[in-house]
Amino acid sequence: MSGDLPSNGDASTDDQAGNHTQATFTTPEKTHTQDEFPVRSTLAESALTPSAEIAETLAKVEDRQAVDDSSQLSPCETKQLDKLLVSAPYPAATSIDALKVIQKQRGWVSDASLSLLSAYIQVSVAELDSVATFYNLIFRQAVGEVVLHPCDGISCDLMDGVEVRAAISQKLHIKPGETTPDNRFTLIPLPCLGACDKAPVMIASEQVYPHLTLSKIAQLLDELEGNKK
């Protein structure tokens, strides 16, 4: 039995004078050249190239992270932390207020900021992180300049809260948990704001906005958009 494998065709090249000509592949139907099968790289390259809008957003996030992850606390931060430490019975009692100080100055609490705070008030990173992740108004990820907290509790839902939240998402083109491309708004619904008599209600920039309607929410978002820093 022959050891040769059966083949439907053969491939040949011209090696004369050290030059290689284009390979040809012969089948019973037709002789093909490599030019008939060009490499399609354009689609792959475009898929790896971010749009200008995405690139701009990423640049803004990186700039903000550079500020948040500074190597030391600011004089303003240490002054406020010192006041907390003096009045507290023990360092851990300042945890939530100390986290608020960091977030007030930096917009959110990064890992680097948490480590700086831990070293300054002498409370472990693990303990501070457990406090930060327990309270939903302490942000451990970067957020926009204005964080919108529409209530998604049952009382608000019974008063058209579902429609109000849908209107927010539609106008800003973001889903819950997302941030607008210009880093202006982040949408984070909360289960209850303790203001059921004002349903549907929302908190934004530490302000409470009661009895929202579709027209009110559109006007409110326009006003907040116009109050850019």
Check pLDDT > 80 for residue 23.
Answer: no
Check pLDDT > 60 for residue 63.
Answer: no
E-state strands within the chain: 11-12, 24-26, 31-33, 146-150, 185-187, 202-204, 207-209
Per the model's pLDDT, the better-predicted residue between 208 and 11 turns out to be 208
What gap in Å lies between CA 97 and CA 42, rounded to an integer? 53
Kind plus residue range of the DSSP H or E element containing 52: helix 52-68
Given this model, what pLDDT does residue 198 score? 95
Per the model's pLDDT, the better-predicted residue between 6 and 186 turns out to be 186
Per-residue confidence band for 205, with pLDDT thresholds at 50, 70 and 90: confident
Given this model, what pLDDT does residue 16 score? 44
C-alpha distances (whole Å) from 150 to each of 71, 109, 122, 173 are 35, 22, 36, 16
Rounded to two decimals, the pTM is 0.65
**Mean pLDDT within 98-115:** 96
Given this model, what pLDDT does residue 228 score? 64
Q: What percentage of residues in the chain have a pLDDT greater than 70?
A: 69
Per the model's pLDDT, the better-predicted residue between 60 and 108 turns out to be 108
Q: What percentage of residues in the chain have a pLDDT greater than 90?
A: 65
What gap in Å lies between CA 220 and CA 176, rounded to an integer? 18
Q: Is 157 exposed, middle or buried (0-12, 13-18, 19+ CB in 10 A)?
A: middle
Per-residue confidence band for 229, with pLDDT thresholds at 50, 70 and 90: low
Check pLDDT > 50 for residue 80.
Answer: yes
The structure tokens listed for 73 are: 């606390």
Given this model, what pLDDT does residue 177 score? 94
Q: Are strands 185-187 and 146-150 parallel, antiparallel or unpaired?
A: parallel
**Mean pLDDT within 116-134:** 97
Per-residue confidence band for 222, with pLDDT thresholds at 50, 70 and 90: very high
**Mean pLDDT within 180-196:** 95
Check pLDDT > 70 for residue 35.
Answer: no
What the chain holds in terms of domains, given with CATH numbers, is: 52-134 (no CATH), 146-226 (3.40.30.10)
Q: Which of 34-43, 95-104, 123-132, 178-187 shows the lowest per-residue confidence on average (mean pLDDT)?
A: 34-43
